[in-house]
Amino acid sequence: MQVFFGLNTFPKYFAGSVAAIGVFDGLHRAHMKIIENVVQRSIDLKTYPMLITFEPHPKIIRGELSDIGGILTSPKEKMRLLKHSGLEAILFLKSDEELLDMPPESFVKNVLMGHIRLKELVVGFDYKFGKDRRGDVYDLKRYSKKYGFGLTVVNPIKEANFMIKSSQIRKYLLSGEVEKANKLLGRYYSLTGFVVHGEGRGREIGYPTANIKLPYSYKLVPRTGTYFTKVYLRGIYKYGLCNIGYRPTFEGSELSIEVYIFDPEEPELYGMELDLFFIKRLRDEKKFDSVGQLREQIEKDKRECLKIIENLRDEMEVGIYGSI
């Protein structure tokens, strides 16, 4: 799979492709259905399947990131998740004021047909595009006839009476309902970061933790609390106990993400990249009257995790690295 950033890097030999277009934040089950349609249509038409998406997220450019709580997938995560999707190419269009303020028909005429020269476009039923998101699938139907390209509109997918949408996944994560979010995603929600030096509190009390620094400030972090997680580190999966919060027992004031890895084999983790996959939220973050009470709670949390591990039937794929 080839990856291109910007129209000026897009090669002519991909002209005549079948493409999906959208922000695709989260790459959830409905997104993957669209991509499956792209791959199938490319087989039918004997051409390339590709994805056209936007970087950075338009909400960042518009200063509206706080309205949605954060971004679900970074460009790096999108590339990893789509590695085995069957797509031949991903084109990241640069989200800037010029592009975002382009009228819908101008976007189709100048970008999709003028530069990319599509054979067919595949979109979700609720796709919006162009200045102020004025364009929709009804406009695309008119433009497809006017400019001579095929159009496939993919119907919605529902889960528990909710349409699978990025906005609903964000709501679940921000309220700590990671299990519901995971069902819509079709995999475990994840954070990727680097292990940095902390205050060493966990090691002092007998439960050493890896403190995680995220490379992207815009990444959505689930609600504060203690979570049962799976950890991916140097090609190996481990289970762990992750705390997102302010460490009130130690009078902390800054948000931290730290994970106590069960049976760690690496004596030195600093500087390593680590992936956290959120399986279940166990409880709210608490302030304990003593370190002894904190130890007891951590041990209780660990026992609960071990019970889950014993009964865990992994029917999901992590997505980035294959089956758990």
Does 23 share its domain with 153? yes
Residue 319 domain-assigned? no
Residue 318 domain-assigned? no
Does 135 share its domain with 203? no
Where helices occur in 19-112 by DSSP H, the ranges are: 29-45, 58-61, 65-68, 75-81, 97-100, 104-106
pLDDT at 267 over 70: no
Domain that holds residue 223: 187-311
Q: How far is CA 289 from the centre of its chain?
A: 37
Residue 171 domain-assigned? no
Tens digit of pLDDT for each residue in 49-100? Answer: 999 999 999 999 999 999 999 999 999 999 999 999 999 999 999 999 999 9
Does 149 share its domain with 259? no
pLDDT band at 252 (very low <50, low <70, confident <90, very high): low
Tens digit of pLDDT for each residue in 8-61? Answer: 999 999 999 999 999 999 999 999 999 999 999 999 999 999 999 999 999 999
**pLDDT: which is higher, 254 or 92:** 92
Does 154 share its domain with 6? yes
**Can you give the pLDDT at residue 270?**
87
Tens digit of pLDDT for each residue in 164-177? Answer: 999 999 999 999 99
For residue 87 the two structure tokens come to: 């797509």
Does 302 share its domain with 238? yes
Does 210 share its domain with 147? no
| CATH code for the domain of 68 | 3.40.50.620
**Can you give the pLDDT at residue 263?**
79
- Contact between residue 277 and residue 265 where contact means Cβ atoms under 8 Å apart: no
Residue 63 domain-assigned? yes
| CATH code for the domain of 222 | 2.40.30.30
Does 135 share its domain with 14? yes
What total number of domains does the chain contain?
A: 2
Does 145 share its domain with 197? no
For residue 259 the two structure tokens come to: 């994970």
